[in-house]
């Protein structure tokens, strides 16, 4: 039996495969322009396939985009919160993985602990997709890359500035920068920087990733400015974070230091007035609604890859 194609972190993908996935997402999006949202793509690459979507943490975009994605690919989905499953009463991750592997063709899981997703994948005999952990959010970055390329062309060689908390979404940007060859300027407070392991791995593999604590320096000349909430799901030190990150808000003055045609991204949900102002997120440089929609198109290429229809 061949090993299932798990989508846990971008690191495990070949750059050529990532490229094929992004191109597939763009092609599928354009092919179904104007179609009703539940209409199945002409080639239905997930026909007769099913996807379980398991959530230990809240979600709007990941939940609805994966549901739309599996339908548009011609498959069927089932959504459950871990709290409603025996998983929430302590059934082992491995046992759950083995049971679901007998019932569905792939599992997307949003988990409190990244290590649990790895355990789930190790025990599963079907593809397992990371729908966000405290360590990374690879599905989000697929949508972000799709959005950037849709509006600004190939991401290779572009400069992306990450401002704020060096969190799970930032980690996946670090992974993507290394694979796809864009410059990533990160500005974080020293106490809330990205993980050393991600940075070291990026630098070892020639990633053009820089880290500082000056938002203006990070956005200088940037084509894309990205931020995220200062307090992620599961963070317990909200008050300390609000203080440490107070000078890392993305406002129009900061955007004005970026390239003239710079765009703004945020994975959402946004905390308006904290990490971003209304003027920026609702302004002409913001692509956040396209970015949110692109979760569907990006997730479709992830599923198509997991099912062996790409790469």
| 140 labelled catalytic | yes
Asked if 268 is part of the footprint of ligand CP (rule: CB under 6 A), the reply reads: yes
| 299 labelled catalytic | no
In whole angstroms, the minimum distance from the beta carbon of 281 to ligand CP comes to 14
Binding to ligand NVA by CB under 6 A, coded x per residue (else -) over 29-68, reads: ----------------------------------------
| 228 labelled catalytic | yes
In whole angstroms, the minimum distance from the beta carbon of 14 to ligand CP comes to 25
| 110 labelled catalytic | yes
Binding-site member from 50, 112, 210, 232 for ligand NVA (CB under 6 A): 232
CA atoms within 13 Å, Cβ hemisphere of 136: 26
Binding-site member from 9, 130, 136, 140 for ligand CP (CB under 6 A): 140
Contact 118, 8 (CB under 8 A): yes
Binders of ligand CP: how many residues, by CB under 6 A? Answer: 8
Asked if 275 is part of the footprint of ligand NVA (rule: CB under 6 A), the reply reads: no
Asked if 286 is part of the footprint of ligand NVA (rule: CB under 6 A), the reply reads: no
Nearer to ligand CP, 101 or 168 (CB): 168
In whole angstroms, the minimum distance from the beta carbon of 157 to ligand CP comes to 26
Nearer to ligand CP, 123 or 288 (CB): 288
Asked if 124 is part of the footprint of ligand CP (rule: CB under 6 A), the reply reads: no
In whole angstroms, the minimum distance from the beta carbon of 235 to ligand CP comes to 14
Among candidate residues 63, 71, 110, 297, the one labeled active-site is: 110
Asked if 233 is part of the footprint of ligand NVA (rule: CB under 6 A), the reply reads: yes
Asked if 267 is part of the footprint of ligand CP (rule: CB under 6 A), the reply reads: yes
Binding to ligand NVA by CB under 6 A, coded x per residue (else -) over 144-183, reads: -----------------------xxx--------------
Binding to ligand NVA by CB under 6 A, coded x per residue (else -) over 244-273, reads: -----------------------x------
The rounded distance, in Å, linking the Cα atoms of 141 and 243 is 27
Instruction: Name the strands in the sheet holding 159-163, side by side, starting at the edge strand that comes first in the sequence.
Output: 209-212, 183-187, 159-163, 224-227, 263-266
Q: Cα dihedral sign for 91, 85, 65, 45? A: positive
Nearer to ligand CP, 139 or 184 (CB): 139
CA distances from 141 to 88, 131, 193 (A): 28, 11, 18
Q: Where does this chain bind ligand NVA (CB under 6 A)? A: 132, 167-169, 228-229, 232-233, 267
Which sequence positions are flagged as catalytic?
A: 110, 137, 140, 228, 267, 295
């Amino acid at each position: 039996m061949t090993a299932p194609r798990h989508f846990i972190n971008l690191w495990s993908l070949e750059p050529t495969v990532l490229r094929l996935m992004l191109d597939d997402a763009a092609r599928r999006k354009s092919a179904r322009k104007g179609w009703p949202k539940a209409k199945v793509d002409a080639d239905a690459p997930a026909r007769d396939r099913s996807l379980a979507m398991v959530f230990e943490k809240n979600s709007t975009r990941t939940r609805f985009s994966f549901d739309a994605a599996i339908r548009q690919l011609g498959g069927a989905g089932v959504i459950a919160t871990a709290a409603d499953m025996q998983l929430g009463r302590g059934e082992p991750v491995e046992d759950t993985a083995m049971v679901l592997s007998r019932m569905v063709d792939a599992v997307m899981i949003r988990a409190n602990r990244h290590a649990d997703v790895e355990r789930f994948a190790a025990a599963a005999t079907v593809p397992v997709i990371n729908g966000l952990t405290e360590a990374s959010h690879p599905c989000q970055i697929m949508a972000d890359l799709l959005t950037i390329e849709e509006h600004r062309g190939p991401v290779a060689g572009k400069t992306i500035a990450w401002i704020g908390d060096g969190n799970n979404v930032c980690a996946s940007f670090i992974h993507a920068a290394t694979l796809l060859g864009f410059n990533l300027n990160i500005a974080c407070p020293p106490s809330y920087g990205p993980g050393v392991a991600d940075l070291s791995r990026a630098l070892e593999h020639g990633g053009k990733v820089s880290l500082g604590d000056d938002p203006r320096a990070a956005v200088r000349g940037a084509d894309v400015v990205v931020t995220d909430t200062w307090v992620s799901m599961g963070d317990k030190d909200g008050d300390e974070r609000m203080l440490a990150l107070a000078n890392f808000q993305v406002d129009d003055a900061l955007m004005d230091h970026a390239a003239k045609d710079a765009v703004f991204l945020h994975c959402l949900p946004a905390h308006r007035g904290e990490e971003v102002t209304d003027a920026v997120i609702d302004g002409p440089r913001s692509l956040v609604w396209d970015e949110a929609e692109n979760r569907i198109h990006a997730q479709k290429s992830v599923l198509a890859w997991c099912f062996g229809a790409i790469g």
